Amino acid sequence: MKVYGLTGGIGAGKSTVAKVFIALGVPVYDSDSSAKWLMQNDLELVDQIKALLGERAYDKAGILQTAYIATQVFHNDELLQALNQLVHPAVAKHSRHWADLYPNAPYLIREAALLIESGAYKQLDGMIGVTAPEELRIKRVMNRNQWTREQVVARIKNQLSEEERMRHCQYRLVNDAQKQVLPQILALHEQLKA
């Protein structure tokens, strides 16, 4: 079974592209949602996160406190790396079990912003990169998340540059609001099925 990574910087449109692949009958593993689920439900991971970030990472009911975690890690590279070293292996293991559920799919897609940073791309059969101009990405995220421009730019600076990300991608989808992305996805789907 071939598994392709789907990645792109914040606001590039990888979630939208993933929905099209799902509509085409391709199973898509959403690494970000799965990571949040695992951080809440994988008891071993919960204990590791509490050991790293303290009891405040979860409230009294045991609910993950994402806002608190974000304030702790996004301005502390060492802490962010330590958290990623806990979460990424748990997600990789979970995604392998998920893949076993789809033995008859034409191929699988694993969607994540950090496939390259985590090294997970090395276990995949290829990478699909969704790209868009930075200014458009900023506007999309500001509208979607109600963030300030500064918040979006800070998040972009924490990610790989577009150029570095695309160097790892064998397939590229341009989502720049100029070139239609749907025909690109359909053509790639036919290519990956073959």
Could you give the 3-state DSSP secondary structure of residue 4? Answer: strand
The total number of structural domains in the chain stands at: 2
CA angle 54, 56, 61 (to 5 degrees): 125
CATH code at 112?
3.40.50.300
pLDDT of residue 154: 87
- Structural domain that includes position 123: 1-27+102-194
The model's confidence at residue 44, banded by pLDDT at 50, 70 and 90, is very high
Counting residues of the chain whose pLDDT is more than 70, the rounded percentage is 100
- Both 108 and 194 in a single domain? yes
CA angle 159, 71, 13 (to 5 degrees): 35
- Both 69 and 89 in a single domain? yes
- Both 12 and 53 in a single domain? no
Contact call for residues 68 and 93 (beta carbons, < 8 A): no
- DSSP string for 117-144: TTTGGGGSSEEEEEE--HHHHHHHHHHH
Query: Does the pLDDT at position 77 exceed 90?
Result: no
Strand order in the sheet with 171-174: 28-30, 108-111, 3-7, 126-131, 171-174
Average pLDDT, the chain: 94
Of 32-36, 107-111, 112-116, 178-182, the range with the lowest mean pLDDT is 112-116
Convert the pLDDT of each residue in 91-110 to its tens digit. Answer: 989 999 999 999 999 999 99
155 vs 120, 139, 152, 170, CA distance in Å? 21, 13, 5, 25
- Both 121 and 137 in a single domain? yes
- Both 93 and 108 in a single domain? no
69 vs 78, 100, 154, 192, CA distance in Å? 14, 32, 16, 38
- Both 43 and 88 in a single domain? yes
> What pTM does this model have?
0.87
Provide the sign of the torsion angle of the four alpha carbons 163, 164, 170, 171, taken in this order: negative
pLDDT of residue 139: 97
